[in-house]
Amino acid sequence: MMKKLLLTTLAIIATITMVAQTADPFLTSIVNGVPWTDDHGKPVNAHGACIVEENGKYYLFGEWKSDTTNAFPGFACYSSTDLVNWKFERVALPLQKDGLLGPNRVGERPKVMRCPKTGEYIMLAHTDDMRYKDPQVGLAVAKEITGPYTFIGPLLYKGKPIKRWDMGTFQDHDGTGYLLMHHGDIYRLSKDYRKAVKKVADGIKEGGESPAMLHKDGTYYLFGSNLTSWERNDNFYHTAPGIEGPWTKQGIFCPEGTLTYNSQSTFILPLHRGDSIVYMYMGDRWSYPHQASSATYVWMPMQVNGGKVNIPEYWPVWNPVTMQPVRDLGGTVIPVNFKTATKGAKLELPFEGTRIAVIGHTFNNGGYGRISIIDSQGGTVHTNLIDFYSKVDDHGLRYVSPLLPRGRYTLVVECAGEHPHWSNKRGDYFGSREDWVTVEEVRVY
């Protein structure tokens, strides 16, 4: 009897321990700075993005980047009901035969809005030549939100294209649509959103790139970044009592030196939570040349009160329903000491479970590492190229595998022997100069 009780007690303790070790926070969380995997097992590839919420679904539009060149390959559309699990809908605007978004052109920052007057979906985007010498705003339209979108041509203002580059859009509470241009030009769109009809703000002082906007309690907030190409910097914001201004520069909204938690602004999504609206910052962590695989997203709720905006701490993992960070990642912790810049050097770690997460160090001489999950038959069940570079140091999550059927696998981390680097129009060098891949810990679920 006594023995039976003891065995039962042990079994209960073992079960509890198992549950505690395997609790998986990634099922319901937004995870910043790691590639997200879509319903086809591919990276979610939608950068310089925006989200449109419609009928209980979120539609994510962004640059459908390539891993080899910056030439426009299309804009992608994904959908989700929870902002965590993403379904690839389609390439909403494909590469065009010719014209502004034809071969060897640049297409960036697609922004979609539903025009309240016509019910049409309007996509505006930055179009350019490969040297960024022919900036214009492209206009595409669709009857269905997921497209396909028909490319019309340049958005016109007074019959002419708007010859500027980084752009964003903003839809006000009354349905009026606006085009936001870098360095603080704001245009009001026509009732059908197909042209710009009025320049409502002209060169807001010290306005930046990658503009995004929100409107709360009679105050307008305009976000932007400094000019450092795909490198991160401390982004900032302006406020005004009306969209025409007067605009006042307020300063940064993330702690100084974090470089906006290693990201660049692209869009602000209002999320309805109970009786209130929480504004979600959406930013890009670029990774040239392997943007498709390795550029990631940084999304965080912002504190917006009385003319001030703040994201006081970085939440690598957070729940978009409770709006709370996940402070304990759980799982079974396996300390690792893998640091190499030698091409082909590998970490191989067998594990049993349903998911694995890799924690590592990024710094200014980091490079690319390929992470793969190999099953017991030797088949690759998932693989992704990971960027271990960041201008400012960061210790944290670098990879979270998709949910796997429970089984035995091997995690492989291999130094790719290359690093992100690029130059801007003036030829200034950006990125890393070495190939370091550093893994510090692994967590098994």
- Interface residue list for ligand GAL (CB under 6 A): 48, 108-109, 166, 209-210, 227, 229-230, 424
- C-alpha dist (Å) from residue 299 to 50, 57, 159: 11, 17, 37
Alpha carbon 198 to its chain's center: 31
Output the smallest distance, CB 316 to ligand GAL, in A.
23
Of 286 and 399, the one with the shorter C-beta distance to ligand GAL is 286
Output the smallest distance, CB 432 to ligand GAL, in A.
16
Of 26 and 230, the one with the shorter C-beta distance to ligand GAL is 230
Of 182 and 419, the one with the shorter C-beta distance to ligand GAL is 182
Output the smallest distance, CB 163 to ligand GAL, in A.
15
For 430, residues 6+ apart whose C-beta sits below 8 A from its C-beta are 228, 229, 230, 231, 421, 422, 423, 424
Distance of alpha carbon 146 from alpha carbon 129, whole angstroms:
26
Of 110 and 396, the one with the shorter C-beta distance to ligand GAL is 110
Of 49 and 243, the one with the shorter C-beta distance to ligand GAL is 49
Distance of alpha carbon 379 from alpha carbon 104, whole angstroms:
36
Distance of alpha carbon 12 from alpha carbon 342, whole angstroms:
47
**Could you count the other beta carbons within 10 Å of the beta carbon of residue 212?**
26
Which strands make up the sheet holding 57-63, listed edge to edge?
47-54, 57-63, 74-80, 87-94
Output the smallest distance, CB 288 to ligand GAL, in A.
8
Which one-letter amino acid corresponds to residue 126?
A: H
Q: Which residue is nearest to ligand GAL (CB)?
A: 229
Output the smallest distance, CB 230 to ligand GAL, in A.
5
Output the smallest distance, CB 148 to ligand GAL, in A.
23
For 3, residues 6+ apart whose C-beta sits below 8 A from its C-beta are none
Beta pairing partners, 421: 431
Of 170 and 436, the one with the shorter C-beta distance to ligand GAL is 170
Of 222 and 349, the one with the shorter C-beta distance to ligand GAL is 222
Output the smallest distance, CB 80 to ligand GAL, in A.
23
Distance of alpha carbon 320 from alpha carbon 226, whole angstroms:
28
Of 366 and 431, the one with the shorter C-beta distance to ligand GAL is 431
Which strands make up the sheet holding 332-340, listed edge to edge?
332-340, 437-444, 356-362, 394-400
Output the smallest distance, CB 108 to ligand GAL, in A.
5
Name the helix (H) or strand (E) containing 333.
strand 332-340
Number of H helices, E strands in the chain: 3, 35
Distance of alpha carbon 325 from alpha carbon 33, whole angstroms:
15
Name the helix (H) or strand (E) containing 319.
strand 317-319
Output the smallest distance, CB 151 to ligand GAL, in A.
19
Of 286 and 338, the one with the shorter C-beta distance to ligand GAL is 286
The tokens for 337 are: 């000491």
The tokens for 227 are: 């000019």
Residue found by looking up tokens 């995004």 in the block: 212
